[in-house]
Amino acid sequence: MMELTRKGEYAIRGIVYLASQPADRVCLLSDIAAAVDVPATFLAKIFQQFSKIGLVKSYRGTGGGFLLGRLPEKITLLEVVEAVEGPITPNRCVVGPGECIRDVSCTVHPVWKRVQGKVRDVLEEVTLKDLAGV
Amino acid sequence: MMELTRKGEYAIRGIVYLASQPADRVCLLSDIAAAVDVPATFLAKIFQQFSKIGLVKSYRGTGGGFLLGRLPEKITLLEVVEAVEGPITPNRCVVGPGECIRDVSCTVHPVWKRVQGKVRDVLEEVTLKDLAGV
DNA sequence: CCCTAAAAAGATAAAAAATGTCTTGTTAGG
DNA sequence: CCTAACAAGACATTTTTTATCTTTTTAGGG
């Protein structure tokens, strides 16, 4: 359980690759896809999501492509994962009050809260710089 | 992401309910299902899985039903969750060597290992006794 | 020895999510 | 205005989840 989907895997591979390239090198989606062995059309969707929240910058037209949106050390793995997989929510009831019908005295609730916190902590302290190994 | 499935939720609800009952009270599946508001046929499958690994004891025929397999304080939430959802594996590459094709120098690998460890730690230190609030 | 109660096991089915693909639109450079 | 490249949305396939139904096995009681 708790498995990352392909989408999440691809997202990490793609953006880590981008982070490993020279900072000013505009990368073609097709090149990234080939390099990390991911279907280009699928990776395109992923990078669109990245682009919307500024994790990468995109340029259209001739000479276009992608650049990292911020310095690699300023992008955490947590951001990358949550960008494509949504927030870390081990159980519905950690989302917010009212989500858990078996409400008030749900004894399991705080446990999932703890799990959520731990996972976020681990993912948040890892940056693309660490992963790209520059 | 990292969400528990319904099956996992139902499993927890069901076995926590069982843990909250008097230790010698043989409970009918239909009663448990009604009490925790889970489809009886689905819960049946779940309890079959529990039964196979000894988390619960089952008795067939008239007067049959379920009992907890061990004392509530001897059953961890980790066991319950893994019984129905499989092992905690945030990413394929934590399963074992060779699983990750982008093998040797997969920098993300150790991060998922850490996530896996943290999650297991949290779930392992919570028992059914804690959850049943007896 | 049957009848009924109860769980076990296996087959099947509907719904949702994951995993892609394809087409069309938009933007920019030459 | 032609081509390169990303953006956006519709569509299709496969897998997983979420069940349900039927048949079988086990056990107790009359």
What value does the mean pLDDT take over residues A58-68? 95
Cβ–Cβ contact A133 with B under 8 A:
yes
At A107, the pLDDT band (50, 70, 90 cuts) reads: confident
Inter-chain residue contact B88 with A2, CB threshold 8 Å: yes
- Å between CA of B105 and C1' of D15: 30
Is pLDDT above 70 for B134? Answer: no
B67-123, pLDDT tens digit by residue? 999 999 999 999 999 999 999 987 776 544 555 555 556 788 889 989 999 999 999
Q: In chain C, which nucleotides are within 7 Å of a protein Cβ?
A: 4-10, 18-22, 26-30
The residue lying closest to nucleotide C7, measuring its CA against C1', is B60
Identify the closest residue of chain A to B1 by CA–CA distance.
A88
The CA distance from A49 to A11, in Å, is 10
Is pLDDT above 60 for B23? Answer: yes
Chain A residue numbers with beta carbons less than 8 Å from the beta carbon of B89 are 1-3
Mean pLDDT for chain B overall:
90
Is pLDDT above 70 for A134? Answer: no
Q: Which are the contacts of B6, defined by CB distance < 8 A and separation ≥ 6? A: none
Q: Which are the contacts of B119, defined by CB distance < 8 A and separation ≥ 6? A: A2, A90, A115, A118, A119, B88, B90
The closest CB to that of A131, out of B9, B107, B123, belongs to B107
pLDDT of residue B90: 79
The closest CB to that of B115, out of A12, A114, A123, belongs to A123
Nearest Cα neighbor of A10 from A45, A54, A55 is A45
The CA distance from B63 to B41, in Å, is 19
Cβ–Cβ contact B133 with A under 8 A:
yes
A3-41, pLDDT tens digit by residue? 899 999 999 999 999 999 999 999 999 999 999 999 999
Matching residue, tokens 């049946």: B44
pTM over 0.75: yes
pLDDT of residue B93: 64
pLDDT of residue A89: 87
Is pLDDT above 90 for A64? Answer: yes
Mutate to test the interface with B, among A3, A7, A104, A112 (most CBs of B within 10 A): A3
The closest CB to that of A111, out of B111, B115, B126, belongs to B126
pLDDT of residue B51: 97
Cβ–Cβ contact A106 with B under 8 A:
no
Is pLDDT above 90 for A90? Answer: no
Chain B residue numbers with beta carbons less than 8 Å from the beta carbon of A77 are 108, 111
